[in-house]
Structure 1
Amino acid sequence: MRRRLVISYLLLMVLVLLALETPLAATLATRETDRVRADRLADATRVASLAGPALRGGGPGPLDAELAAYDELYGIGAAVVDRDRRTVAASVSWKFGPGADAALNTALAGQQFSGPESVWPWVDGPVLVAVPINDGGEVLGAVVTATPAGKVRHTITTWWLLLAGIGLLAVLACVSTAFGLAGWVLRPVTELDAVTHEIAEGHRTARVRPRLGPPELRRLAASFNNMADVVSDVMDRQRAFVAHASHQLRNPLTALRLRVEELGPSLTDADGRAEHRLALEETDRLATVLDALLTLARAEREENQRVTVDAAAVAASRVAAWLPLARHRSVALHLDMATAPVYARTVPTAIDQALDALIDNAVKFSGAGGEVTVTVRAADGGTALAVRDNGPGMTASQLDQATERFWRAPDVQNVDGAGLGLTIVAVLVDASDGRLTMRQGEPRGLVAELWFPAPEQAADAPAGADQPADSAPVRA
C-alpha cells in the first residue's frame, strides 16, 4: 500500500512538472530565438541603408569590406542581392542554403523575413534574416544573413537541462516526502495488522500504540484496543466461569454419589437396584463432563507456555495405561514407533491428554474384536502421531463437526461420553501450534493424526530423557 501511495504522489508530481515546465521550456526557446532574430534584423537594416547608394551606382562600393568585416567579427554570413537576384556583394561564409530563397522572395516583395520562430535543440539549420533595400518606395534588392544556430541551441539546451535538474530535485523531494507521509499515515495500519496477527496467534495482551498517525487512525487504534480489552475480558470471564463452575460442582457431586451408594444396601427388589445402578452411572457421567470442562478451560488458558517432551515415551506410557481397558473390551491395542526418542514442543500435557482422548474414543467405538494402532514418527520437520481404528468411523459431514463442543454423532447417543474429548484435543493441538486432521480409514474406521512442531534446536531436548525400550511394539 505504501508503494501505491508513493507512486500516486510521484505520478501527480510528474504531471504537475510537465504542465509547468513544458510551456516554460518552449517560452525559453522562443525568447532566445527572438533575441537573436532581433539582433540580426538590426544588423541587416544597417547594411541595407549602406547598400542603397551602391545599388543605384551599379557597383558594390564599400559593401564587400563591410560584409567581410561583419563575417570575420561575428561569423555570420551575409549577402546583398539586387532585384534581379544577382549577388552584388557577399561575405566569405555566405551560402544559399535551404530556406534562403523563401527569405529572399519575402524581402524582394518589400517585407522583412526572420525565421525560424523557435530554435529547437534537435533541429539543425541557421537563423535566416532578410531585409528589403528601398529607395523612394522602390525595392532595389535585399540583404540576407544566415546566423549559425549552434550557440542558440547550446543556450536553449543549457536552460532545458537546468529545468530538468530542478524537476529531478523536485521529484526526489516528492518521493522523500511521499515515503515519509505514507509511512506516517500507514504506520498505525501496519501496527494494527501486526497486533491482529499476534492476538490471533494467542498473544492476547498485544495492543496498538494509539499515538501514531493521523487523528482518524489514532481513534481507530484506540477503538481497536478497547475492543481487544473487552474481548479478552469476556474470554477470561468465560474461562474462569467454566473452571470455577466445574471445580465447585465436583464437591456436591461427590457427596451426592456417596449418598446414592449408601442407599444401595437398603434396596431389596431388582427394579430398585437397577435404578440405583443407573443413578450411579449418571453421577459418573456428570463427573466426566465436569472434568472435561475443567480440562478444556485449563487448556485454553495455558496458551503460551511450551515444553519439550519425548513423544515416543509419552505414547508408550499412554498405550500401557490403556492396555487393561482394551483387553477388558477385547480390543487389540498396538504401538508402532521407532526406538529412538522423537521430541516435540507443546503446551504441558498436550500429547498425554490428546492421546488419552483419541485412544478412549478408538477403544470405545471399535467394539469387541476391534483393533487400534498408535504410531509415532518424525515428519514434516516435527512429530506426527496417529491413532487408527477399524470401528464404524465417521461420514465427511460428521468429521467437519467432530471438534464442536458437546457434539456427538446421532448413531452413538447411547454411548458414554460428554462430547468434549475431540474439542479438548483440538484446543491443545492449536495451543501447541500443531495440527489435528481426521479422515476415514481404509477400508473402514477412523484415522486421527496429530502433528506437533519439533524443538527449534537439538539442545532444547530434555536432558536424560528416557528412551523407549528396544523391544517389539507394545501390543494387547
Structure 2
Amino acid sequence: MRRRLVISYLLLMVLVLLALETPLAATLATRETDRVRADRLADATRFASLAGPALRGGGPDPLDAELAAYDDLYGIGAAVVDRDRHTVAASARWTSGTRADAALDTALAGQQSSGPDSVWPWVDGPLVVAVPINDGGEVLGAVVTTTSAGKVRRTVTVWWLLLAGIGLLAVLACVSTAFGLAGWVLRPVTELDAVTHEIAEGHRTARVRPRLGPPELRRLAASFNNMADAVSDVMDRQRAFVAHASHQLRNPLTALRLRVEELGPSLADADGRAEHQLALEETDRLATVLDALLTLARAEREENQRVTVDAAGTAASRVAAWLPLARHRSVSLRLDAPEVPAYARTVPTAIDQALDALIDNAVKFSGAGGEVTVTVRPADGGGIVLQVRDTGPGMTVSQLDQATERFWRAPDVQNVDGAGLGLTIVAVLVDSSDGRLTMRRGEPRGLVAELWFPAPDEPAARGDVPDDAVGVAGPVDPAAAPA
C-alpha cells in the first residue's frame, strides 16, 4: 500500500512538473530564438541602409568590405541582392537554400522575414533573416543573413537540462517526502496488521500504540485496543467460567455418584442392576468431561508462561505411568529416546498432558496385540520432536482435519469412552508453547502424531527443569514397570 501511495504522489508530481516545465521550456527556446533574431534583424537593417547607394548605381566595394568584415568577426553569412534576385555582394559563408529563397521572396515583396520562430534542439537548419532595401517606397532589393543555429540549440539544450535537473530534484524530494508521508499515514495500519496477527497467534496482550498517524487512524487504533481489551476480557471470563463450573460441578457429581452407587444393593432384579450400572458409567463419563474442560481452561490460561523441560525424561515417566494400562489391554508400549536430556521450552505441563492424551488415544484404539511407540529425538531444524505411533485403525484425511475440534469424535468410535477434548487440549498446549502438532496416517495402518517444541535459548540449568519432567530416558521394558 505504501508503494501505491508513493506512486500516486509521484505521478501527480510528474504531471505538475510537465504542466509547468513544458510551457517554460518552449518559452525559453522562443526567447533565445527571438534574441538572436532581433540581433540579426538589426544587422540586416544596417546593411540595407548601406546597400541603397550601391543599388542606385554606386560601386559595391564598400558593401563587400562590410560584409567580409561581418563574416570574419561573427561567422555569419550575408548577401545583398537586387530586385531581379541578382547577387550584388556576398560574404564568404553565404549559401543559398530553400529557407533563404523563401525569405528573399518575402523581403522583395516589401516585408521583413525571419525564421524559424523557435529553434529546437532536435531541428537542424540555419536562422535566416531577410530585410527589404527601400528607396522612397520602392523596393530596390534585399539583405539576407544566414546564422548557424548550433549555438542557439546548445543554449536551449542547457536551459532544458537545467529544467530537467530541477524537475529531477523535485521528483526526488517528492519521493522522499511521499515515503515519509506514506509511512506516517500507514504506520498505524502496519502496526494494526502486525498486532492483529500477534493476537491471532495467541499473544492476547498485544496492543496498537494509539499516538501514531493522522487523527482518524489514531481513533481507529484506540477503538481497536478497546475492542481487543473487551474480547480478551470476555475470553478470560469464559475460561474462568468453564474452570469454575467444572470445578464446582465435581462436588455434586461426586455426591450424586455415591448416592447412585448406594442404591445398588437395594435393586433386586437384573434389569434394575443393569440400569444402575449404566447410571454409574454416565456419571463417570460426565466426570471425565468436567476434568477435560478444567484441563483445557487451565492450559489456555497458562499460554504466556514458559519453562524448560527435559522432554526425554518426561516421556519416560509418562510411558512408565501408562504401561500398566497398556499391559492390561495387551498393547505393547515402548519408548525410543536418547539417554541424555532433550530440553524443550514449553508452557508448564505441556509435554506431560499432551503425551497423556496421545498415549491414551493410542492405547485405547490400538486394541489387543497392538503396538504403541513413543519416540523422542532432536529435530533437523532445531527443537525437539516427540512422536506417538500406534497400529490402530487411524483416521481419514477429512477426520484428521476435524480431530482437534472440541467435542468432535469419529463416527465409528462413538461407543468408546472419551469426551472428545483430548486432541483439543494437545493443540492448545502446543500452540501456547509456540510448537506444532501434526498428525498423519501410519504405514501400513495406524496414526502418527508428532509434537514439535522449540529448544531453549541456552542449555537449561537443573533448577529450571521441573521435578516431574526429569526421568530416566531410554527404552522402557514393560516387564520392569510397576503393576
Q: What SS does structure 2 have at the residue aligned with 1:330?
A: coil
Q: TM-score, normalised by structure 2?
A: 0.90
Shift of 1:93: 4.1
Q: Verify the 8 A CA contact 2:52 2:134 in the aligned structure 1.
A: yes
Alignment-mate amino acid for residue 4 of structure 2:
R
Cα drift, residue 386 of structure 1: 2.0
Using the TM superposition, give the Cα deviation of residue 29 of structure 1 relative to its aligned residue in structure 2, in angstroms.
0.8
| Contact 1:383–1:453 (Cα < 8 Å) also in 2 | yes
In structure 1, how many angstroms separate the alpha carbons of the residues matched to 2:218 and 2:317?
54
Counterpart CA distance in 2 for 1:395 and 1:95 is 96
Query: Equivalent residues in 2 for 1:277-288 (5 A)?
Result: 277-288=277-288
Shift of 1:182: 0.9
Q: Which amino acid aligns with 1:282?
A: E
The C-alpha deviation readout for 1:370-416, integer Å capped at 9, x for no partner, is 22222222224222222222223223333222222222223322222
Amino acid at match of 1:447: V
d(CA) in 2 for partners of 1:127 and 1:383?
Answer: 86
Mapping for residues 5-24 of structure 1, pairs under 5 Å: 5-24=5-24
For residues 83-232 of structure 1, what are the structure 2 equivalents within 5 Å?
Answer: 83-96=83-96, 99-232=99-232
**Residues 341 and 473, structure 2, Cα contact 8 Å, conserved in 1:** no
Match of 1:425 in 2: 426
- 1:455 Cα deviation from its structure 2 partner: 2.4
Distance change (3 Å), C-alpha of 1:437 and 1:208: same
Please list the CA deviations of residues 17-39 of structure 1 after superposition, one character each: whole Å capped at 9, or x if unmatched: 11221122112111221222122
Cα distance, 1:68–1:397 mapped onto 2, change above 3 Å: closer
Q: Please say if residues 386 and 450 of structure 2, whose CA atoms lie closer than 8 Å, have aligned partners that are also in contact.
A: yes
Question: What is the DSSP-based 3-state SS (H/G/I as helix, E as strand, rest coil) of the residue aligned with 1:414?
Answer: coil
Q: Give the drift of 1:284.
A: 2.4
Instruction: Give, in whole Å, the separation in 2 of the partners of 1:462 and 1:454.
Output: 15
Three-state SS of the structure 2 residue aligned to 1:146 is: strand
Aligned partner of 1:313: which letter? G
What one-letter code is carried by the residue in structure 1 that aligns with 2:449? A
Confirm or deny: 8 A CA contact 1:455 1:461 kept in the other structure.
no
Q: Secondary structure of 1:238's match?
A: helix
Q: Which residue of 1 aligns with 2:307?
A: 307
Q: Secondary structure of the equivalent of 1:118?
A: coil
State the SS of the aligned residue for 1:132. strand
Distance 1:126 1:59 in 2: 30
- Residue 70 of structure 2 corresponds to 70
Q: Taking structure 1 as reference, are residues 74 and 394 closer, same or farther at Cα in structure 2, changes over 3 Å only?
A: closer
Cα 1:453–1:469, aligned 2, differ >3 Å: closer, same or farther?
A: closer
Q: Which amino acid aligns with 2:315?
A: A
- Worse overlay, 218-227 or 186-195: 218-227
Q: Which residue of 2 aligns with 1:336?
A: 336
Q: Shift of residue 260 of structure 1? A: 3.9
Partners of 1:422 and 1:58 in 2: CA distance: 121
Q: CA RMSD in A?
A: 2.5
Alignment pair present for 1:35 and 2:13: no
Unaligned runs of 5+ in 2: none
Contact 2:338 2:473 in 1 (8 A): no
SS at match of 1:62: helix
CA distance in 1, matches of 2:177, 2:131: 56
Partner-residue secondary structure (3-state), 2:45: helix
Q: Sort the Cα spacing of 1:120 and 1:461 in 2 relative to 1 into closer, same or farther, 3 A.
A: farther
Q: Deviations over 1:290-314 (max 9, x none)?
A: 1111100000111111222222211
Q: Secondary structure at the match of 2:56?
A: helix
Check 1:442–1:117 CA distance in 2 against 1; reply closer, same or farther (3 A cut).
Answer: same
Aligned to 2:411: 410
Deviations 1:233-267 (A, max 9, x none): 11111100000011111222233334444455555
Identical amino acids, percent of aligned pairs: 88
Q: Give the TM-score taking structure 1 as reference length.
A: 0.91
* Separation of aligned partners in 2, 1:392 and 1:154: 88
Counterpart contact for 1:106–1:112, Cα < 8 Å: yes
Amino acid at match of 2:40: R
Aligned to 2:438: 437
Shift of 1:232: 0.9
Q: How far apart, CA to CA, are the structure 2 residues paired with 1:283 and 1:298?
A: 23
Counterpart code for 1:421: G
Taking the aligned partners of 1:395 and 1:125, their CA distance within structure 2 comes to: 85
Secondary structure, aligned partner of 2:218? helix
Q: Which amino acid aligns with 2:399?
A: Q
Cα distance in 2 for partners of 1:31, 1:329 equals 105
Instruction: Report how far residue 271 of structure 1 moved.
Output: 5.0
CA distance in 2, matches of 1:414, 1:172: 73
1:438 to partner: Cα distance: 2.2
Residues 168 and 443 from structure 1, CA distance in 2 versus in 1: closer, same or farther, beyond 3 angstroms?
closer
Take 2:471 and 2:317, find their aligned partners in 1: how far apart are those partners? 11
Matched, 1:56 2:56: yes
Distance 2:90 2:412 in 1: 118
1:401 aligns with 2:402: yes
1:232-311 → structure 2 map (5 Å cutoff): 232-264=232-264, 270-271=270-271, 273-311=273-311
Q: Is the contact between residue 319 and residue 474 of structure 1 (CA under 8 Å) also seen in structure 2?
A: no
Name the stretch that deviates more: 55-64 or 291-300: 55-64
How much has 1:452 moved relative to structure 2?
A: 1.8
When residues 157 and 411 of structure 1 are mapped into structure 2, their CA distance, relative to the original with a 3 A threshold, is closer
Q: Distance in 2 between matches of 1:229 and 1:474?
A: 51
Shift of 1:136: 4.4
Alpha-carbon distance in structure 2 between the residues aligned to 1:407 and 1:151: 88
Identify the range of structure 1 (397-406 vs 105-114) with the bigger mean alpha-carbon deviation: 105-114
2:335–2:374 Cα contact (<8 Å) kept = yes
Measured in 2, the distance between the counterparts of 1:361 and 1:20 equals 77
The change in CA–CA distance for 1:93 and 1:409 in structure 2 (over 3 A counts) is closer
> By how many angstroms is 1:323 displaced?
0.6
Q: Secondary structure at the match of 1:449?
A: strand
CA distance in 2, matches of 1:313, 1:16: 72
| Match of residue 391 from structure 1 | 392
SS at match of 2:305: coil
For the residue of structure 1 that corresponds to 2:345, the secondary structure is: strand
